[in-house]
Structures are given as C-alpha cells and as structure tokens.
Amino acid sequence: MTGPLGGSLRSRALILAALFASALLALTGRLAFLQVVKHEELSRLAERQRSKTITLRPERGPILDRAGQPLAVSSRAESLFALPARIEDPERTARRLAAILKETPGAIRKRLEADRGFAWVKRKLPPAVAQAIRALGEPGLGFVEESLRLYPNRELAAHVLGFEGVDGRGLEGVERAWDSHLAGEPGLGLVERDALGREVTGLAAVIKRPTPGQGVVLTVDRTIQYLAEKELDTAWRRTRSQSALAIVLDPRTGEVLALAVRPTFNPNSFATATANEWRNRAVTDPFEPGSTFKVILAAAALQAGAARPTDRFYGEQGSITVASTVIHDWKRYGWLTFSEVLQNSSNVGAIKVGMALGRDRYYHYITSFGFGSLTGLGLPGESRGQIRPPERWSGLSLATMSIGQEVSVTALQLIAAFGAVANGGMLMQPQIVRATLDAAGHELRGLEPRVVRQVIAPETARSLTQILTGVVEEGTGHLAAIPGYRVAGKTGTAQKLDPATKHYSRAPGVLSFVGFAPADDPRVVMLVLLDEPKTEKWGSEAAAPIFAALGREVLRYLNVLPQDAPPVQIVRAGEPGTSVPVSLPEASRAAAALAPGTGRAALDADARSARMPDLAGKSLRRALSVLEALDTQVEVAGRGVVVSQRPAAGEALAPGAIARLELAPPTARR
C-alpha cells in the first residue's frame, strides 16, 4: 500500500518493533543482572528460604573422681523440633504428642502454633520416646542430636558437681565454674525443606560438627563422699536439723576429699528441686562459729607468747562483765590452765586470753588464717564471711570474738584453718579440681597443691595439737574419740541472733565439731555441722558422734593404721637381725574373718594355695595391708612405693615365706 496511509503503517510497525526490541533487551539485561551480578545474594536468600540453620550442642566433657570414677558423663539424645507453618492440624498433632511426652495438649499446641519458622517441642528425649514420635509420621516434625548430661551416682556430690541446664550451660558447682573447659564448641545443622517449603522429616543435616568438651578430675574420693553423705543424712534426719554439712579434707595438700550438704537434690532432675536445695552451704553460707573459733584464739595466743599451756586463768565462777555486758559461761569454773580453758570450752577463760592477746594481734592472726578472704576453691557463690577491722570494733568486740561471736565464717574457711594447725602451721589453699583432661581423656595439666602461708610455727602447731587431743580425751569432745586413733578437735555451740529481740536466742543454733586424726600424723581434717537441730542442743552431743563415726570409716578406708593393731615383723634390707614392728589395719583382718567358709581348715587351704599379689606402685602401708592376710614375713629396701618384688606377682607363696619389696620415691604427678 502506497500513499500517506501506507507510510503511517510502516512507521507504526517500526515503532512497535523497536519497543519489542527494547523490552527484550531490558529483560535480557535484567536476567543477566540477576543471574550474574546478584547470583550469590539470591543463592543465599534461596538457601535461607529452603533451610533453617540451628546450633548443634557439643558433648560435654566428663567429671571424674580422684580415682577416675565417673561423677558426670554425657551421652547422645534426640531433641524434637517443629516447623509450625508445615503443621496442618496443630490440635491433632498436640494430642498425639501429649500422650507420648506426658504433657498437656494445650502446652504442646502453644509450641506448635508459635509465630516463627522454628520451635523446640521437647529437648533430649529418651530413645524409646523419640522412636514413638518418629512412628507417628507427622509432617513438620524433626529431630536434632544433642548431648545429654547424666549423673550416674544421683545425689552423690550434687553440690560439688552442680548441673547442666537445658541450653547446655553449666549451672552451679564444678559444671558452672569449669563451664568453658567442659562445654566444647557448638556446631551447625540445617533443617532441610523441599522446593515448596515443606519440611523433610528426620535428623538435621550437619554442616559443622560440634567439638566435644574436655574433662576434669576432682580431688573428691567417691567412697569417702558416700561415707560422709551416709553419716550426715542419718544425723540430719534424726535431729530434724534445718540443714547439715560435712567436709573431709587432706591437711597436707588442701584437697577436698568429700563435701556433703543436706538438704540435697538429684542433678538428673534438678528442675524439680528448689534453689534452697541447690545451694552449696559449705561455701555460700557464713555463720558465727562459736567455740570452734577458740582454736584460732589459742593459736594466736601461743604464737604471740600471750599464753602458755600451763598459764592459769580464773573462771570467775561462771560470768564476767565486759563493757557493761554480763557474759556467762556454760559451767562455773575457778582456776583453769590455758589447756583446760580449751578442754572445757570456758567462755570466761577464752575472754581473758583474748584480753591478754589484744585486738590488733588477734585480728592479724584471724586474717592470716584466711578468715575474711575467699579460699580460692573456685566453686561459685563463695562468701568471704565478715571480719570487721579493729578500728570498727566496739568495747565488747574483743570479748565476743574471743568466743566466736560477732564474726562470721564459712565452713570451708574453718576447716582450712584447722587444716593449717594439722599441717604444722602451714595453710594450704583448698582444692577441688586435681587435673584437667583433653577430649581423649588424657591429662592436660595437673593442679598441684598450693601453700598460702605459714600462719604459726610448727612447734606452736604441735603444742596446740596436744591441747586439742586433751579436748577429746578429757574435755567436751570425748564423744568424738575414735578407738585406736588419737583425735584432736574442738566442739562448737553457736547461738543465733533472734531478729525480733536483736539478742542471741536460747534455741539451738549451729552445732559443730572440727578436728583431725591421727593427731600425731594427720591424714584427714573433718568438719561436721548441724544447723538448728530440733533434738540436740550441744555440739558435743550432736556433731561429735557423727565426726567419730565418719572418721572411723574414712581412716579404715585410707588404710591408716590404728595404734592398737597387733604388729607384724618387717626386716629392713641391710639391717640383719633388726625388725621394725608395723601395725596392720584391723579392717583387712575383719574382712578375712567375716568371709564365708573361713574356718581353720579353709584358712589353711587358702594359705597353701596363696599367690603373691601384684604390689607395684603401692605404698608400703597398702602393700602391708594386702600381705597381712597371708602368712608371710616382709623385707623392705628403700622408701616410697613398691618398684620391684620377690616373689613375682602370681607366684606361689608358701606359709612363712619372705616377701622382699624394693621401694623408691613415686614419680611426681604433673
């Protein structure tokens, strides 16, 4: 077509073609921009729409006792999650889950209807429960593998261990104090969805594996801990005390062998307990120590030369007036030697000793023994107690502090101070962790005992120990005596302030006994404390018998030789014709006597078939304990632990045979 009309149509066609070409070019450019320039960003966006990244909790490192026995371990468990948008009928799904999880459908439905893309339904399920839920085949549900913390001994050492929270963090005790070491490093997982955004049910895909935590070895001995808890629990229930605690410590190293608290809880189900039951009262709760603090006064007076054991103090027939306040004794006394002041726990005598010592010197020794400062044990929530400086003392303070009032201490501070007396005047830092382990269970670092300071001279400590044995043998602590062992210790009966009257109540307050044994070579220092017992009123009646019962079992377990055990002859190599009588533990003889079928004939048969035990690495005392049940003589060369023996382990051992042991110093622990 020609003419004006044809030209117009061609122009329109060209314009339309140009527009199409421009649109195609723009579309091509946009596609190129999205696929090339924005590729990485859009890929990440698509991945986020297709998947949900979650944290994978690592397996927590183990906590072991000093012998390597497990106190806290971890295993694998599955945790249930939901993608609420994928669940078509939350009410129906909640009902089905409630029957398996033993929860109300309403509580579960709230989690399933959460206004977010991901929600936890239940963490750390037992295998049978997880399998039952998986069998439901419900869309929108999935599982993530997590670490489950287990405490195989239930309540044993609960306040030392603490527990792990649902988020994998350590709460309370060693779990909290060493959380960064035990926890490990978390990993990452993907909760996968299909192209339509629907959940692919199953385990999350791992994109970064978690790094397991490392372990720790405690100073606690599981057997001693059990013995302490057994005795304490019986006394706590019998006396109906508000609370109770017992601590066993090695005075030579400061290592805590046991720490028991009542009331207690099961760390496996910590959520069912209260914060009051979680609290480690041995480190968190300061109290007025009462008469046990007279030992600190005595140590200061002896060291400063303010009193000697034979010095005499008049007891004023039971009362003394200081700063217009009358302070009464528990019994009327006349003249008492300094030793008798402690043996009879005389308040008047202690006040006169305190006055002779003076406030500045007394305060110096109080703080030198560690009161008013953290012990450095490392458990959370530790209190410093309260010791006011002398410039803030009233005219009555020196007198009341001489009898353990107007001062607050923790049980840990008190036992550490007694440990210093038992350790020749040397104060050791209390220790609860002995070594750290790597993820494979190998020792990373040994934590060696640490000396804080020499508080009093060794001769002062020996003199004070002699006085404290008199407290048990002749004084108020006679119920703390342990047959076969000399015990040094002190009773304590501390009243509490009545909040209503602001005066000391006559009701029983804190009853305690602190001491160590054997007095001439202390292996353990122990503290027993009962708070507000309903059936007892004196520390000598309530706490001292618990000390005796616990001490007897602990010393037997440690193979500490009683003084009255019959001797066995040991010939030192190179010393012909000489012998050293060494007592052997009564416990091993009793074990043989009580074994089934141990009549004379049975014992003779056992002797004929005896084999030499493997004694490598054992101390002389432990080796003798093993050999005691066998009719044998012992020759010893050297000192330390057994490094060689004849006969060799497993060889026949005839009655009357000579067992030759070579000892050498043990390799120092790293």
pLDDT at 638: 72
Average pLDDT across the chain, whole number:
84
State yes or no: is 402 an active-site residue.
no
Query: Which of 22-26, 607-611, 627-631 has maximum average pLDDT?
Result: 22-26
Pick from 88-102, 261-275, 602-616: least confident:
602-616
Pair 54, 118: CB distance under 8 Å: yes
Mean pLDDT of 39-52: 51
Mean pLDDT of 48-56: 61
Q: What is the distance between the alpha carbons of residues 12 and 10, in angstroms, rounded to a whole number?
A: 5
Q: What is the pLDDT of residues 504-516, one digit of tens each?
A: 766 678 999 999 9
Q: What is the distance between the alpha carbons of residues 626 and 585, in angstroms, rounded to a whole number?
A: 10
| CATH for 567-664, options being 3.30.70.60, 3.30.10.20, 2.30.42.10, 3.40.50.1970 | 3.30.10.20
Domain 223-267+283-557, CATH 3.40.710.10 — does that match? Answer: yes
Pair 471, 339: CB distance under 8 Å: no
CB atoms within 10 A of CB 344: 20
Domain boundaries, the chain: 14-49, 53-217, 223-267+283-557, 567-664
Class at the top of the CATH hierarchy for domain 53-217 = alpha beta
Number of alpha helices (DSSP H) and beta strands (DSSP E) in the chain:
23, 28
Q: Is 606 helix (H, G, I), strand (E, B) or coil?
A: helix
Pick from 347-351, 380-384, 548-552, 576-580: least confident:
576-580
Mean pLDDT of 7-32: 71
pLDDT at 231: 96
pLDDT at 522: 96
Q: What is the distance between the alpha carbons of residues 160 and 148, in angstroms, rounded to a whole number?
A: 19
Cis-peptide, bond into residue 522, ω within 30° of zero = no
Per-residue pLDDT band for 625 (boundaries 50, 70, 90) equals low
Strand partners, 436: 216, 445
Q: What is the distance between the alpha carbons of residues 419 and 413, in angstroms, rounded to a whole number?
A: 10
pLDDT at 591: 35
Q: What is the pLDDT of residues 440-455, one digit of tens each?
A: 889 889 999 999 999 9
In the block, residue with structure tokens 């410590």: 249
Examine the pLDDT at 665 and tell me if it is beyond 90: no
Q: Which helix (H) or strand (E) holds 171?
A: strand 170-171
pLDDT at 38: 58
Examine the pLDDT at 659 and tell me if it is beyond 50: yes
Per-residue pLDDT band for 4 (boundaries 50, 70, 90) equals low
pLDDT at 603: 33
Q: What is the pLDDT of residues 211-225, one digit of tens each?
A: 889 999 999 999 999
DSSP 86: G
2-16: b (≥16 Cβ within 10 Å) or e? eeeeeeeeeeeeeee
Per-residue pLDDT band for 203 (boundaries 50, 70, 90) equals low
List the catalytic residue out of 79, 291, 339, 512.
Answer: 291
Q: What is the distance between the alpha carbons of residues 494 and 480, in angstroms, rounded to a whole number?
A: 18
